[in-house]
Amino acid sequence: MDLLINIDLKKLPEPISYHDRIMLLGSCFTEHIGNALGELKYTVLQNPNGILFGPDSVCKSLFSYTQNKKYTRKDFFLLNEVWNSWHHHSRFSNIDPDECLRFINASQQAAHEFLEKTDWLIITLGSSFSYRLTQQADTASEMIGDGVANCHRAPASWFTKEMLETDDIKHMLEDCLKQLKQFNPALKFIFTVSPVRHIRDGVVENNLSKARLIESVHYIINKFESAFYFPAYELVIDVLRDYRFYDIDLVHPNYAATEFVLEKFSTNCINEESQQLMQEIKKIVIARKHKAFQPDTKAHQQFLISHFEKVRNLMAKHSFLNLDEELTYFSQT
């Protein structure tokens, strides 16, 4: 008896390989995928603006990378003694506006250069809700009415909240992909919808929000031959569909759930040769995390020597791999 619903996962016609450059944008679920790929030594750049939830914020950030936009002090606002950007996550905020500016523009430059040569852009959309600045917002007047990527815990009176219409989402994604293809004609796209539920919006409202994202994404993948859909949302909501696979907040998928999704992603989106190499690298990464209670023992020294040779052999066999960190660690004999 089958205990899980079977989803017909379609493999990519030209799967991802270790030779590809991958940019990832979107919600916190994006970072689960990005962190896993980065740890396994893929060439990745994730969320140059920080975590983004809505399609409007994702598209604005991508436009800024293609244009290599440079921010100025006028783009920032002061709240609770910290300078922030409405287009960036709070991890870019700083008590020193010049340091905030330096950090953001360095990230912009890196994103522009990386996107120019990126093979795959993975976009995870989290919510259809948009927060727009009101007249009460303590910010530049020309920004009033604009959607923000992050509210930075500003007063609720600074924002109006609205759910984007499906047609609006379709149009902004379509315009965004057209500009990206002009900027980098070889670029391919994988869209996912985050399985993280935004229950603060309301359960019914969250489902409607996700439905608008799913419909819009399927419109895009039918419109662009280079765009594909990976059903991360369906794998958690419809296949696992059990609160054992959620953290204590009953909102975020836990380790077991994200590992399940990543396994399906690897099988269906990454070529077989790279999947095999991933298994070899995973063993090295796990060994790198090993903490010896008695580092001076002969057994631990032999462990280091053995893995040092494994890393050297792997790098000799695959010259594109960067395992310098592991090589340095295992050289401590």
User: With pLDDT > 70 as the criterion, what percentage of the chain qualifies?
Assistant: 97
Q: What is the pLDDT of residue 143?
A: 75
What 8-state DSSP symbol labels residue 14? S
**CA gap 227, 121 in Å, rounded:** 9
Mean pLDDT of 110-115: 98
- The answer on pLDDT for 39 being more than 90 is yes
- The answer on pLDDT for 140 being more than 80 is no
Q: What is the pLDDT of residue 3?
A: 60
Q: How far is CA 211 from CA 27, 165, 207, in A?
A: 16, 11, 6
Q: What's the chain's average pLDDT? A: 93
Instruction: Record the tokens describing residue 122, joined without a space.
Output: 């993975």
Least confident of 116-120, 207-211, 247-251: 247-251
Q: What is the pLDDT of residue 29?
A: 80
244, 270, 296 - which closes a domain: 270
Q: Which tens digits make up the pLDDT trace of 146-188?
A: 889 999 999 999 999 999 999 999 999 999 999 999 999 999 9
Q: Is residue 2 part of a domain?
A: no
Same domain, 205 and 113: yes
Concatenated DSSP letters for 88-103? S-GGG-BSSHHHHHHH
Same domain, 252 and 324: no
Q: What is the pLDDT of residue 2?
A: 62
Q: Which tens digits make up the pLDDT trace of 282-297?
A: 999 999 988 888 888 9
Range of the domain at 328: 272-333
Same domain, 75 and 175: yes
* H or E, element range at 4: none
Q: How far apart are the first and last CA of the chain?
A: 53
**CA gap 280, 278 in Å, rounded:** 5
Q: What is the pLDDT of residue 32?
A: 87
Q: What is the pLDDT of residue 8?
A: 82
* H or E, element range at 228: strand 227-229
For residue 99, give the CATH number of its domain: 3.40.50.1110
Query: Of 107, 72, 73, nearest to 92 (Cα)?
Result: 107
Same domain, 121 and 249: yes
Q: Which tens digits make up the pLDDT trace of 247-266?
A: 999 898 999 999 999 999 99
**CA gap 79, 71 in Å, rounded:** 18
Q: What total of structural domains would you count in the chain?
A: 2
Q: Which tens digits make up the pLDDT trace of 62-86?
A: 999 999 999 999 999 999 999 999 9
**CA gap 141, 147 in Å, rounded:** 13
**CA gap 58, 123 in Å, rounded:** 8
